[in-house]
Structure 1
Amino acid sequence: MKNKEIEDNKNKEKVKNKKKFYILILALVFIISLIGWWLFPTQETKPPQTQTEDEESLMGTLPLPFPFPTGEPLPNNHPIQPEHNLDVFESSNIIYDGSDTYFRNELDDWKLYVLHNGEQEPEKVMDEAVYYMTKVEEKILYTQSNELGIFMIDTDGSNKEQITGDSTHQFIVQDSWVYYVDASDRNRLTKVKLDGTDKVVLSDDEIHSFLIQENCIYYVNRSNELNLYKMKTDGSSRLLVSKDSVTNLKILDDWIYYLFENNIYKINKDGLELDIVSNEYIQFFQISQDWIYYRTEGIGGNLWRMKLDGTNKEQISISGYDLDFIEIWDDWVFYYSAFLNKELYHLDGETKKISEKDISNLFVHNNLLFYLDNNDFNKLYQMDLNGENINKIVDSTVTEYEIYDNKIYYRNALDENKLYETELLGENNVRVIDQRLLQYEMYNDQLYFIEDSDQQRLFQYDMETKQLTKITDEQVYQFYILNEKIFYTSQEGSNIVNLDGTDLLKLTSDIENPKILGDWIYYVGYGEHENLYRIKQDGSEQTKLTTINTNNYMILNDWIYYIEDWKLHKIKLDGSEKVKISDKSVNLLLSIENDWIYASSSLNASPISVYTTVFKVKTNGKSYEELINGYIEDLEITDKGILFTENQESYRTFKVNIDGSNESVLFTPTP
């Protein structure tokens, strides 16, 4: 298809969309008028309810022991020959080098693990949380959660080196260079040698995403309406490839594939040949071998695949519910739909539904599915990923469970909710400790818990030696472990202590929502007003950064995002450069995704009803969009979508896309 024909089709499609839009507006006005006759503000409402663990496990993203790959080509283990080899090593959440698999283990706070070829049990590579990574020869490059920069280690976890201290969310290795988006410097594309020398800024454009093929960089330019550009790897020969607003960028052979206005297009690398692959309304797509896997529009958006030229379309999923994600893993496509059975689809055309049971608390570990059977008194079961070989693991009612170090730890409702452990296949089902626990956490092969007694002291229990050690003499209300430190609250206030109970640090104010970044602890303290503080981990240099309305704040790159005077603000990590982002009223900061801040504001529409608006605003404050308006009780936001419960008669639970589109009912409670 010629470029002019493509543009004509785009214009026709826009006219159709406008007509649909006007018709939709008229229909909505009519519907709203009818609704006004029966809506009444004195409707009795139920008290706010928090989500149960079962609901969270059903509504949230499937909790995997490691994330499935992102669909981008995974790096192969080719040796690098500087200045000659053009192999590309792109950062992702998982690495498969043809033999071993390196992954972020969600079961151990996203620390780096490796599963060697032919082995069943993974081993820990290092004791740090990892975000993005890639493997180059016998080195692993990665970014981590508690320290800015790109780091490099040997594959056994030794010899850690820092390549750069710049913050980044994407990096690619080619030749002896690391290319990355420098979030510390206006998202400019930068490169640096593997040894940390010769840092070069390649472009002043603000980069959304980029890919490298051969000696060219293809990037989406956030500074110019998400147009697609290319340039040489030295920053020269900058060229506009497409004026479309590009998302979901993929490159395969001589073609660039992307989404524009939710249609899939392909364009050659010089921008002279443009063709439309599919004019369906597509939410997102992945490419594997000769197939494009994609999700269609609307409620019941299903999973399809088609050839690279748009032919041979085949429907994979007929779930009738919105798919939360698509991931490609060897010969399998894994897709998940909230409040629906989990399904695996094999590329040879065979679809297998895993389970028809009413299940909850689904967990994947070592290629096995663990779940609670709601029709069998919440007993714990296990089965293969294809739904076969179902085994009952625990024959008691289980209130909660977790898998740690290849053992299952669970609370037994038939024994005063005491903590038990069992092997993955259900052998050696024994009580861990005789004490009843108010709260517990497994960390570094140790069990930390608050005793269920009047004293409520904090203890450490060694799982191997069975030795019990008292951490505190004072009454502890709650605790959590973060970066080798225990944070706990007591009658005297907030405290920080080492895992063995040494080096107790008592803060002058109560501590809420602490976050550790490098040598600093950031937290909200309470005095005459709520204030945001930071303090060195040794207790020195306590500094008030700013006043804050709630303990609700987020840190991204070099900025802290928070609420002050019920308006969105941001401030540098050291308390400098305070900026008001928006004059819109805000009660709750929800999430930050792709340079958008998601937040909500509420007002009392009546003494018993709260009217809530969920909106998003750019981190620079330049764009604002309302996503949801209504009487909302529970609200949760993820990168997959927004979940909320209406504060009305039915208390239905809804899901809406992250951009506010495609609202659908997920769950209606049984009367």
Structure 2
Amino acid sequence: MGKKATVITAILSVLFIAFCIYNVFFAGKIKPNDPSTIGNSAGNLHNNGYFCEDDGVVYFSNPYDNGCLYSMNPDGTQMKKLIDASVKYINAAGEHLYFCQENASSNNMLSFLSQNVAGIYRTTKEGRNAYCFSKDLTQIISLSGNYLLYQRFKGGEGMSLFKSDLEGKANEMAVDYEINPACIQNGIVYFNNTPDSQGLYAFHVDNNTVSSVAEGNIWFPIIQGGYIYYMNADDNYRLYRMELSGHSTEKLTDDRVDNFNIGQNYIYYQKNDPSQPAMKRMGLDGLNPEIVMNGNFSNINLTSTFAYFHAFQSRTELYRTPVNGAINVTPFTAAMEAARQEQTK
């Protein structure tokens, strides 16, 4: 019996040591992504990243619950509140979510932040195990492969582009000037203008180098199907597209554009007009423009099923229409009802 007890003790000791080794070297590790992975579409991130779809689930900032993070099916069913914190620039990849938090309050899960201080966080897709990358004032964040890119402001130093691994252990300044990291393809960020010159540039995520792509006053680039779509600031912010290969350009609309987003079949955009403003959509080639809804709108976010947009200067007036097929604009009442149910718990 004594020998048997010794064997059991030895086995338990080995298991305990193995458990400790696992926790030291593997626990908390983030499974690597494919290098071509992106955390959200460029169009959504240009529009504050309030919606993000990944692996059949939509994650979104619910304006009827102070912008708290929710999840749902693409059709808007099965809504679930994930965290009690206001979020934007939502990214998703693998088993985790990455986002910017705004206006933290003392009673939420990230309450170690003081009032009105933004920060960058990672949680599981269930909203658990929050990790803070940075408590500094930040703007757009995006995920490229196994890196998180974000604009970070340090007092007196201005806005710079920072890069972190997904575990937050290697966090560095990538470029010492402001780069919008929303538009990413195959580990390359496409952005407009450097401090010294105007044009379209490429930031290479793997080695932090910048190269010139094309000339032009190009704003809010989005890559889709071999083209870069953009607002041409030299032509009253009208929408253009440029071939990635030959750099030939074409104008898509004579409308002045405030903001836009691109799905698989349509470009959604806000027409700037003093007397007849409207949310509109047209084909990717600029053909068959049609009015989605008259008025001024912003924050155009697209999922596989719906196009979402806010009334201008109103976070609590949210509409949606099928992203493809016939236009049918309705208030996003399901999000309002989900928020009401949460507030009565």
Q: TM-score, normalised by structure 2?
A: 0.68
Give the structure 1 partner of residue 162 of structure 2. Answer: 190
The offset of 1:273, in angstroms, is: 1.7
| Secondary structure in 2 matching 1:173 | strand
Compared with structure 1, are the counterparts of its residues 140 and 348 closer, same or farther at alpha carbon in structure 2 (3 Å cutoff)?
Answer: closer
1:129 to 74, 86, 104: 86
**Separation in 2 of the partners of 1:336 and 1:197?**
37
User: Residues 404 and 89 (structure 1 numbering): CA distance in 2 closer, same or farther, change over 3 Å?
Assistant: same
**Distance in 2 between residues matched to 1:346 and 1:364, nearest whole Å:** 12
Could you tell me which of 60, 68, 72 is aligned with 1:111? 68
Match of 1:169 among 136, 139, 143: 139
CA distance in 2, matches of 1:97, 1:266: 27
Name the CA distance, whole Å, in 2 between partners of 1:316 and 1:324: 12
For 1:308, the equivalent position in structure 2 comes to: 284
Contact 1:102 1:113 in 2 (8 A): yes
**1:241 counterpart = 2:213:** yes
- Per-residue deviation, residues 569-597 of structure 1 (Å, max 9, x unmatched): xxxxxxxxxxxxxxxxxxxxxxxxxxxxx
CA–CA distance in structure 2, aligned partners of residues 243 and 287 of structure 1: 23
CA distance in 2, matches of 1:106, 1:337: 12
Note the C-alpha offset of 1:206: 2.2
Q: Residues 253 and 195 from structure 1, CA distance in 2 versus in 1: closer, same or farther, beyond 3 angstroms?
A: same
The residue correspondences of 1:267-416 to structure 2 (distance < 5 A) are 267-269=242-244, 272-278=246-252, 280-283=254-257, 284-298=259-273, 299-310=275-286, 312-317=287-292, 321-325=294-298, 326-333=300-307, 346=322, 350-352=326-328, 364-366=332-334, 404-405=340-341
- Distance in 1 separating the partners of 2:188 and 2:53: 25
* Equivalent residue, structure 2, for 1:227: 199
Identical columns (%): 19
| 2:95 is aligned with 1:138 | yes
Counterpart-to-counterpart distance in 2, 1:343 and 1:118? 14
The 1:245/1:122 distance shift into structure 2, 3 A limit, reads same
Question: Is the alpha carbon distance of 1:139 and 1:267 closer, same or farther for their aligned partners in structure 2, counting shifts above 3 Å?
Answer: same
Q: Is the 8 A contact 1:343 1:352 kept in 2?
A: no
User: Residue 247 of structure 1 contacts residue 258 of structure 1 at CA under 8 Å; is this kept in 2?
Assistant: yes
Structure 1 unpaired stretches of 5+: 1-78, 355-362, 371-401, 407-441, 446-671
Task: Evaluate the alpha carbon distance shift between residue 236 and residue 332 of structure 1 in structure 2; reply closer, same or farther with a 3 A threshold.
Answer: closer
The alignment status of 1:81 with 2:55, answered yes or no, reads no
Instruction: Give the alignment of 1:191-590 within 5 angstroms.
Output: 191-208=163-180, 210-221=182-193, 223-224=195-196, 227-260=199-232, 261=235, 262-269=237-244, 272-278=246-252, 280-283=254-257, 284-298=259-273, 299-310=275-286, 312-317=287-292, 321-325=294-298, 326-333=300-307, 346=322, 350-352=326-328, 364-366=332-334, 404-405=340-341, 445=345
Tell whether the 8 Å contact from 2:182 to 2:189 is kept in structure 1 after alignment. Answer: yes
- Opposite residue 184 of structure 2, the aligned amino acid is I
The structure number with the bigger radius of gyration is 1
Structure 1 Cα separation of the partners of residues 208 and 311 of structure 2: 45
Question: Is the contact made by 1:336 and 1:343 (CA closer than 8 Å) also made in structure 2?
Answer: yes
**In the alignment, what sits opposite 1:96?**
53
Identify which range, 253-262 or 229-238, moves more after superposition. 229-238
User: Which residue type is aligned with residue 138 of structure 1?
Assistant: E
Is 1:155 matched up with 2:125?
Answer: yes
Q: CA separation of 1:96/1:259 partners in 2, compared to 1, >3 Å: closer, same or farther?
A: same
Deviations 1:604-633 (A, max 9, x none): xxxxxxxxxxxxxxxxxxxxxxxxxxxxxx
Give CA-to-partner distance per residue, 1:96-125, whole Å, 9 cap, x none: 224333222233322222236899553322
Amino acid at match of 1:89: G
Q: Does structure 1 retain, via aligned residues, the 8 Å contact 2:142–2:181?
A: no
In 2 relative to 1, CA 100–282 (structure 1 residues): closer, same or farther, beyond 3 Å? Answer: same
Cα distance between partner residues in 2 of 1:171 and 1:336: 21
Q: More helix per residue: 1 or 2?
A: 2
TM superposition shift of 1:257: 1.2
Query: How many Å apart are 1:158 and its aligned residue?
Result: 2.4
Q: Distance in 1 between matches of 2:67 and 2:319?
A: 25
- Partners of 2:161 and 2:124 lie apart in 1 by 26
Cα distance change of structure 1 residues 109 and 292 upon mapping to structure 2, 3 Å threshold: closer
State TM-score, norm by structure 1. 0.37
Inter-partner Cα distance in structure 1 for 2:133 and 2:329: 46
Which has the higher relative contact order, 1 or 2, with Cα contacts under 8 A spaced 6 or more apart? Answer: 2
1:316 to 1:135, Cα distance in 2 relative to 1, 3 A: same
Paired with 2:183 and 2:324, the residues of 1 have a C-alpha distance of 30
Decide whether aligned partners of structure 1 residues 223 and 209 sit closer, same or farther in structure 2, where only a CA change above 3 A counts: farther
Task: Tell me, yes or no, if the aligned pair for 1:208 and 1:226 is still in contact at 8 Å.
Answer: no
Q: Contact (CA 8 Å) 2:70, 2:83: kept in 1 or not?
A: yes
